[in-house]
Amino acid sequence: MIQPPIASLASLVAMAAAVPAPPSGEDRAQAAARRVTPTLTEALKPHGAAIGDPVFIRIVKEPRLCELWIKTKENDRYTLFKTYDVAGMSGKLGPKKKEGDMQAPEGFYATASGLLNPRSNYHLSFNIGYPNAYDAAQGYTGSFIMLHGKDVSIGCFAMTDPGIEEIYTLVSAALQQGQTRVPIQIYPFPITEENLQRHRESPHIGFWKQLAPAWQYTERYHAPAPVAVVSGAYTLPQTDKTP
């Protein structure tokens, strides 16, 4: 029996998270929201936040964490609400460059209403928007990069079913309440001087240094960095908040 090549297998797994599963009575996302809403509502109260408030996501590959930040509409600063373990993620540190390389991306992405999939074969999922303008400028390829349920993934981020139910519910509610896009910022590790020095021999060190100002911005201002792509490179517009 001829086995499919690894690249094809990776593509099929990613597409499975994106392609709707057969409908099963009640909308899966609505059922998930009903399960997690009581717990989330109580957990958000100490932060002065509620389901539907703006959110953003920061993923750190090493040590495999997914942070969910939230803010009230009256506040410019986000609060780190909850940190989830990334249950499944393939590849090594470094950006995704081509379809089938089994790498999970690094950089600055966003999801929106049209990218949510409540009938994913991986329970619930949403597309992070890879490739972005930076990736396109480098000629990188790939598609169907998701945050999804279950605990295994090739090129995506598997958050377990309970984890994705909470994340999906908060993302979906924020979009329904008027947030146009939810930033998803993905780093190889916390971009500190110590970590950059530790990885100074990596072929990706130049790329990681491009990510450093955005990491510092979020650490200082508790908000997603307003990253732009200029001449094929990530940059932060010069403001009074630019590190």
Q: How many residues does the chain have?
A: 243
- C-alpha distances (whole Å) from 32 to each of 6, 15, 159, 161 are 33, 22, 14, 9
pLDDT digit string, tens, across residues 16-51 = 455 555 445 358 999 999 999 999 999 999 999 999
Whole-number Å distance between alpha carbons of 150 and 227: 31
Confidence band of 188 (pLDDT split at 50, 70, 90) = very high
Average pLDDT of every residue of the chain: 91
Closest Cα partner for 40 from 51, 29, 53?
A: 51
The predicted structure's pLDDT at residue 20: 52
Residue 54 zone, left/alpha/beta (φ > 0; ψ -120 to 50; rest): beta
The set of catalytic residues is 148, 156
- Indicate whether 184 pLDDT > 90: yes
Pure H helices in the chain: 6-18, 28-44, 133-138, 161-176, 193-198, 205-221
Q: What percent of the chain has pLDDT over 70?
A: 87
- Indicate whether 75 pLDDT > 60: yes
The predicted structure's pLDDT at residue 8: 44
Confidence band of 158 (pLDDT split at 50, 70, 90) = very high
The single-letter code of the amino acid at 201 is E
The predicted structure's pLDDT at residue 168: 98
> What average pLDDT does this structure show over 128-146?
97
Q: Are 96 and 142 in contact (CB under 8 A)?
A: yes
For residue 138, the SS3 value is: helix
The predicted structure's pLDDT at residue 6: 41
What domains appear along the chain, each with residue ranges and CATH number? 6-190 (2.40.440.10)
The predicted structure's pLDDT at residue 240: 58
The predicted structure's pLDDT at residue 7: 45
| pTM of the full structure | 0.88
Whole-number Å distance between alpha carbons of 174 and 157: 21
Helix%, strand%, coil% for the chain, nearest 5: 35, 20, 45
